[in-house]
Structure 1
Amino acid sequence: METSRVGESPAVMRSERLPVGSQNTVMCLIRFALANIRRRPERFILSVLGIALAIACVTVVRTVSASFAITGQDSVTDVLDGGALWVVPAAGVHYDPDVEALVADGPAPDIDVPVGWPAIRTLSGVAEVSGQPVSLRGRDDIATGEAAVATGAAERLGLADGDRVTVGGQALQVRVRGVGESIVVPTSVAESVVGQSGWWIVSAPAGSEKRRDLAQTFAAEVGLPATPDPSVRPDPQGRGLVYDTVGGSGPLTFEQKFSALFSGKVTGSTLGLISTIGLALGFVIAVSSFLASVTERRREFGIMSSIGLADEVLYFFLVESALVFLAAYLVGITAAGIAVALVIPGIATVTAWLQGIAMTAMFLPAMAIVGALVPVHRLLQHRPVELLGAR
């Protein structure tokens, strides 16, 4: 047993500090935030509902935008059917929401297809089949007396393989094949209904499938302008336009560019502007709620600051704001999903809703952090003694 020598100060025995893990700290902050929420449940509910309303508005717009993007990509994929070039009429084409497909606005350009270029002229228009409007297309490769009905159109019209359907006064046997919303019939049948309206789908010559200058080569042969940009409209005074679906620059395919064009019409509309304003108002509601909480608890945070826990004040507000925004996000996206499913079930899909909530989630981290930093910054501008003296 050791003893202290004369003239030496006695040894001071210190106990080891208990290790505090980061997980324990996070749990303490969460419990602290939940305790504050239980003290003021009405403030928490009002904050969550205000932010959730804003999130619901944004999610609805993003879901509609994603639905249009998916629709745009599917519709142009259905038209191209593996082709490399799309030759549209001078009047252009448009998307008809009633038939959920792209429809030609004028006759297909009159061109002499160069030798070696596989090309199919497709008539396109809208016809009434079984009392419902439907996208009708005509092609020479469809057997006489048959109608190739896409799965989407078959479901809407209640048709099955082997049924009979009347188009242009002729009874045709149904062959359900392919995806989309169109009925493809022999050219002569379609011509009696939609006239000469349509387009050309051109494939690459054998051995040239990987060439990037197909559009320029073909356009020079037939005397038409070419572009890889689907936002470019054909000249009404011209003969038509060649869309390059395989060339062009950039990482996006022609279908993706076309879908982005559809999506941009929604986000850039008045509806998109309203959703942005709603999101800003939700952020203002959150900051106002946290500022009120800071004002109400100045003395409490003054005590924490005076004993060296100023950083914990910041962490506390970060955790509390995260809980508020998480609850608001869950309520908002659920409300948005229900609203879209009830109001516009025709274009709403689970995939579009998932894309919409993913895009909305990107705003939350920044909003939660800034929503906590603004009131905390205002709080830390005061010395602890000033906070302790607050009434």
Structure 2
Amino acid sequence: METATSVPTRMSTTRRAPEIQTTTGNTFGCLIRFALANIRRRPERFVLSVLGIALAIACVTIVRTIASSLAITGADSVDDVVGGAQLWVVPAAGVHYDNDVRALVADGAAPVITVPAGWRAQRILSGVTTVGNTSVSVRGSSEVPSAEAVLAPDLAARLSVASGGTIDVGGRKLTAVVSGSGESLKVSTELAHALVGDNGWWTVHAPPGAEKRRGLGETFGAAVGLPSATDPSVQPDPGGTGLVYDTVGGSGPLTFEQKYSALFSGKVTSSTLGLISTVGLVLGFVIAVSSFLAAVAERKREFGIMSSIGLADEVLYFFLVESAMVFVAAYVLGVLGAGVAVALTVPGIATLTAWGQASGMVAAFLPAMAIVGALVPVHRLLQQRPVDLLGAR
């Protein structure tokens, strides 16, 4: 009787790299361990790559933070001026944002108009004065008593004055009333005229029931003899008498305040500073690709061995993981450094909200940069046969 003989089972002889072989857990954990091992072997390259990319990220974050801060400032400034009014009638000389006083200021006398029946308009005098040693925006209001000065908490803090205290404005001792928002000091119309003359603008409310109607600017402008616009980028004619801004009649999804804030941020991103930040971001990307190309050139034999035993995919995944580590470290260092730099250089307009928006925008570019930064050198590597990689010196 013949006895059955056992057929030897063929055992797999595939072996993994030492870093992968000794790692417990899933494949991603293996790749993390493998990438960290390579970073420890070449810490100087990792540090230099991170610093180079972090510097580029910091440049972009600084510019975007300033742009976002100005956008927020622009929207808040327009809202402070317009309030609930539908129309804003500015002088022929226009208005401008004064960085020193942190508010919009009129550059000329408010237009002389006759308000049509049914409309409600308020003339507001606007200019700059000095309180103590601090320049402030001053506005006249018929609603403020002659013995009082109304200022928001932020301005009160700048002037070191408390509600009920005394403040010297134009040589007059006024009682401070801390209330509202914005950065302007509100005084009586008579005192404002003594300080800034006729400079100012009008805010106009539409007749009841017509507040949301389209074409309010054109209707009011035709009645008072002034041109109108819904786009804040349109400037009044210096040779004219003024311009009516329609804050509700514009087309598109953006409000008048959002369009005005876009003008603020656009001045930064389209300036030389914005160009420098873009160049810096490109240079950071070049640094990353160059670093990985150098890493590939040094480790051809190692990756040739991995490819020859069927671990070509791991080569790609390894570079993706290592590039992600480099970019994450550079991102954290870059955005934190940018936050410190902006807080020290422009503390007057820098806000955590603006920094957060800028950091989020920069973070959106990181996955693409990390993938491309790894794929470019790995693609060149995988185009070669394993035997060619093993023969590299």
2:17 alignment partner in structure 1 = none
Confirm or deny: 8 A CA contact 1:151 1:177 kept in the other structure: yes
In the TM superposition, what is the alpha-carbon distance from 1:5 to its structure 2 partner? 10
2:267 alignment partner in structure 1 = 265
Q: Distance in 1 between matches of 2:212 and 2:343?
A: 43
Q: Distance in 2 between matches of 1:114 and 1:390?
A: 87
Q: Which moved more, 1:256-265 or 1:306-315?
A: 306-315
Is 1:91 paired with 2:86? no
Query: SS where residue 135 of structure 2 aligns?
Result: strand
Q: Closer, same or farther in 2 for the Cα pair 1:4/1:80, shift >3 Å?
A: farther
Q: Distance in 1 between matches of 2:35 and 2:336?
A: 24
Q: How does 1:307-326 map to 2 (within 5 A)?
A: 307-326=309-328
Query: SS where residue 83 of structure 1 aligns?
Result: coil
Q: Which moved more, 1:80-89 or 1:345-354?
A: 345-354
Confirm or deny: 8 A CA contact 1:4 1:10 kept in the other structure: no
In the TM superposition, what is the alpha-carbon distance from 1:213 to its structure 2 partner? 2.1
Is 1:218 paired with 2:207? no
In the TM superposition, what is the alpha-carbon distance from 1:14 to its structure 2 partner? 9.2
**Paired amino acid for 1:170:** R
Q: Distance in 2 between matches of 1:43 and 1:93?
A: 52
2:345 alignment partner in structure 1 = 343
Q: Distance in 2 between matches of 1:249 and 1:10?
A: 84
Q: Which moved more, 1:337-346 or 1:52-61?
A: 337-346
Q: Which moved more, 1:330-339 or 1:164-173?
A: 164-173
**Paired amino acid for 1:302:** G
**Paired amino acid for 2:305:** I
Q: 2:75 aligns with which of 51, 73, 76?
A: 73
Q: 2:207 aligns with which of 196, 205, 208?
A: 205
- Which whole-Å deviations, capped at 9, do the CAs of 1:176-232 have from their partners, x for residues lacking one? 111111011111110011000000001121111221222221112112111111111
2:179 alignment partner in structure 1 = 177
Q: Which sections of structure 2, spanning at least 5 residues, go unmatched?
A: 12-24
**Paired amino acid for 1:326:** V
**Paired amino acid for 2:192:** A
Count of matched residue positions in the alignment of Structure 1 and Structure 2: 381
- Aligned-residue CA RMSD (Å): 2.0
* TM-score normalised by structure 1 residue count: 0.93
**Paired amino acid for 1:338:** V
Query: SS where residue 45 of structure 1 aligns?
Result: helix
In the TM superposition, what is the alpha-carbon distance from 1:11 to its structure 2 partner? 8.0
Q: Distance in 1 between matches of 2:236 and 2:3?
A: 102
Is 1:305 paired with 2:307? yes
Confirm or deny: 8 A CA contact 1:168 1:190 kept in the other structure: no
Q: 2:336 aligns with which of 331, 334, 337?
A: 334
In the TM superposition, what is the alpha-carbon distance from 1:24 to its structure 2 partner? 0.9
Q: Distance in 1 between matches of 2:338 and 2:157?
A: 27
1:20 alignment partner in structure 2 = none
- Which whole-Å deviations, capped at 9, do the CAs of 1:308-332 have from their partners, x for residues lacking one? 2222211111111000000011111
Q: Distance in 2 between matches of 1:357 and 1:129?
A: 37
In the TM superposition, what is the alpha-carbon distance from 1:168 to its structure 2 partner? 2.5
Query: SS where residue 114 of structure 2 aligns?
Result: coil
2:22 alignment partner in structure 1 = none
Is 1:61 paired with 2:68? no
Q: Closer, same or farther in 2 for the Cα pair 1:309/1:197, shift >3 Å?
A: same
Confirm or deny: 8 A CA contact 2:138 2:185 kept in the other structure: yes
Q: Distance in 2 between matches of 1:71 and 1:209?
A: 26
Query: SS where residue 347 of structure 1 aligns?
Result: coil
Q: How does 1:85-164 map to 2 (within 5 A)?
A: 85-164=87-166
**Paired amino acid for 1:371:** G
**Paired amino acid for 1:183:** L
In the TM superposition, what is the alpha-carbon distance from 1:145 to its structure 2 partner? 1.6
Query: SS where residue 367 of structure 1 aligns?
Result: helix
Q: How does 1:235-384 map to 2 (within 5 A)?
A: 235-384=237-386
Query: SS where residue 331 of structure 1 aligns?
Result: helix
Q: How does 1:179-198 map to 2 (within 5 A)?
A: 179-198=181-200
1:18 alignment partner in structure 2 = none
**Paired amino acid for 1:153:** L
Q: Distance in 1 between matches of 2:154 and 2:234?
A: 29
Query: SS where residue 26 of structure 2 aligns?
Result: helix
- Which whole-Å deviations, capped at 9, do the CAs of 1:95-123 have from their partners, x for residues lacking one? 00110000000000111111111111000
Q: Distance in 1 between matches of 2:116 and 2:153?
A: 34
In the TM superposition, what is the alpha-carbon distance from 1:381 to its structure 2 partner? 1.4
Q: Distance in 2 between matches of 1:187 and 1:243?
A: 23
Q: Distance in 1 between matches of 2:173 and 2:362?
A: 50
Query: SS where residue 322 of structure 1 aligns?
Result: helix
In the TM superposition, what is the alpha-carbon distance from 1:171 to its structure 2 partner? 2.1
Query: SS where residue 265 of structure 1 aligns?
Result: helix
Q: Distance in 1 between matches of 2:97 and 2:28?
A: 52
* TM-score normalised by structure 2 residue count: 0.93
Confirm or deny: 8 A CA contact 2:146 2:191 kept in the other structure: no
Q: Closer, same or farther in 2 for the Cα pair 1:117/1:385, shift >3 Å?
A: same
Q: Which moved more, 1:158-167 or 1:283-292?
A: 158-167
Q: Distance in 2 between matches of 1:364 and 1:315?
A: 17
**Paired amino acid for 2:242:** G
Query: SS where residue 113 of structure 1 aligns?
Result: coil
Confirm or deny: 8 A CA contact 1:314 1:373 kept in the other structure: yes
Q: Distance in 2 between matches of 1:121 and 1:12?
A: 100
Confirm or deny: 8 A CA contact 1:63 1:348 kept in the other structure: yes
- Which whole-Å deviations, capped at 9, do the CAs of 1:56-98 have from their partners, x for residues lacking one? 1111111111111111111111111211111000000000011
Q: Which sections of structure 1, spanning at least 5 residues, go unmatched?
A: 16-22
